A and B are shown apart, each in its own frame.
Chain A
Amino acid sequence: MKRWPLTGPGLTYLTVFMVIPLGLVLSYAFLRRGRFGGVVDEPTTENFTRLADPLYADVVLHSTWIAALTTVLALLIGYPTAYVIAGLPRRRQTIALIAVVLPFWTSFLIRVYAWIVLLSGPGWLNKALRAIGLGPVDVLYTDAAVVTGLLYAYLPLMILPLYASLVRLDPQLREAAANLGAGPWTSFRTVTLPLTVPGILTGCLFVFVPSFGNFVIPELLGGGRSVLVGNLIRDQFLKARDWPFGSALALALLAVLMVLLLAQAWAARRYATR
């Protein structure tokens, strides 16, 4: 018989840090806002009807677009990187992986501020462009800057699961493909790629989820011009003091992410080989 894994300390942890906060958010979403923030005990569903307002739907769509673009770019950069790392000799693999996660050990804010310096008008990007004879570009405080920042912040979360699934791949499978007449590209397309789909799915999820709900990077690099779901929720709680609507937004965000998680789990199981 399988034992329920969430007993004892696990259950306590989940209750304190997941069930109670989520329960609060859930109940707030069905209440009316108080005059000076907080909530008053009047049940309502109007917070959810407000979600349908095109103004907010646009924000959700825009967030989806930004997060999706970030995820696709992370995959395009991350896959070749992980592929190269997995092909290195053991010792060098470790060094390369440390290099990949090294930025995580410095302050997130400092790293984002560094991007402001790089991308700003008189910054290094434009210096470099001028050096090769191209005119200055105004990247800072655009979606491009936001995507750059998100990509930079979450690329390691793409590389690590991809690397894990690539090193697990039996090198003899590629040899078998070659032996049966498959050139390098065919072998990649028919053997390596399908067998690393679980890693791809995990990596995409790991990048998409934090990008979708992020509010620090859009604020700093998007200059507040690019409003994403995360910013919206944060503003509802801290600026508009509309906790119920903020809760409803948070639940909507959670619902989208749950759907993605389920889709990922389903796809991963379909591709699981053992």
Chain B
Amino acid sequence: MIEIKGVSHRFGRTRALDDVSLDIGEGEFCALLGPSGCGKTTLLRILAGFETPDVGAVTLDREDLLSVPPHRRPVNLMFQSFALFPHMSVERNVAYGLERERLPRAAIRERVDAVLATVGLTAYARRKPHELSGGQRQRVALARAIVKRPRLLLLDEPLSALDKQVRAEMQLELKRLQHEVGITFLVVTHDQEEAMSLADRIAVMNAGRIEQTDAPVTLYERPRTTFVAGFVGANNLFPGPNGITAVRPERIRIRNRIGGGKGGNDNDGTVEGEGERLTGTVVDVSFHGGTSHLAVRVPGLDRPVLIAVQGPSRVTSGEQVSLSWPPDAAVHIPASIPASTPVSTPASPIEGEEP
């Protein structure tokens, strides 16, 4: 339905978006994941019409969207900072978009009441935004965006300020809107679990580029770049001679070295082949209810290896352990993948060029 082709955008010397392409199908729920400052908001603002990209094209139903003025686009954006009208009550804020469509008053009332009920703010309808808590304001912003039932909904961290229970309710509501009303979603979130559970597809962004767009399971199991492997979930990355091997914490088996391979061959810490064993010292054990997380320092590796085990851990801090994983748990990422920019670099400043 919506096609973003080769979009780049700069703010002065900051390259906020760099050759971004993304297709979102009718009724699809697409999540945008990425570190702070990687250009997520900028992409949404381009789709809403508040920024014009330097290059690139955006089409909606194969028709150019960039030439349509913001107020004529069938696209609603929920702002990251909410942008509620401070002089209007909650219900007037929510009704604003419907009033612009010149709907009959009764119809507006009905829809405003319904959406306020779904976000649980019926009792606050008459309040002004400054009389609400942060989470309540966020729900007003969400209500104001979804009440118009646009073709495309752009939500910029819509649930970040909500507690777990309300968040779960709102997630269900978004899924309902997707399935029953057929709205297409592009949602920015920092919560990877949320992205995994809600989205049909996830686009992972880094430094203005989209590194990988895939279904949640594929993204999780088959990261294609070092950045994605490091950013999605908590992969262990082992540098090898021709690329990097990524292994999920829950796939690593841990054995007490005294009980297991006593006197086994010492390992210098590099991974020579899949299914390789490592030995190291447990430096940290933390219990998270259903699982325990262990950090094991392996000589020769910069960062401790993370391991997740079911239930309470049988090994304790300071113990010598050996680690191994089945061959299919290792994901090889060749060094030649072009998009693999260094992890945790914000949008890169461009030297010497002006737009």
Contacts and interface: CB of A to CB of B under 8 A. Distances in A.
A170 to B, nearest CB: 7
- Chain A at the B interface: SS class: helix
A172 B79 CA distance: 8
A180 B87 contact: no
Nearest to B75: A179
Contact of B77 (A173, A179, A182): A179
A173 B85 contact: yes
B83 A172 contact: yes
B14 to A, nearest CB: 17
B71 A273 contact: no
B100 A175 contact: no
B27 interface: no
Contact of A176 (B49, B72, B73, B79): B79
Interface string B75-95: 111010101111100000000
Interface residues of B, number: 26
Nearest to A174: B83
B9 interface: no
B83 A175 contact: yes
Contacts of A273: 86-87, 128, 130
Contacts of A187: 71
A164 B192 CA distance: 42
B96 interface: yes
A183 B85 contact: no
A180 to B, nearest CB: 4
Contact of B71 (A170, A183, A194): A183
A72 B81 CA distance: 37
A183 B75 CA distance: 15
A274 B128 CA distance: 10
Contacts of B69: 178
B100 A182 contact: yes
B86 A180 contact: no
A166 to B, nearest CB: 15
B70 interface: yes
A180 B83 contact: no
Given A173-B85, A180-B76, 14 more contacts: A172-B81, A172-B83, A173-B86, A178-B50, A179-B70, A179-B77, A180-B144, A180-B148, A182-B71, A182-B96, A191-B85, A273-B130, A274-B86, A274-B130
19 contacts: A173-B85, A173-B86, A175-B48, A176-B85, A177-B96, A178-B49, A178-B50, A178-B69, A179-B48, A179-B50, A179-B70, A180-B71, A180-B76, A180-B97, A180-B144, A180-B148, A182-B96, A187-B71, A273-B130
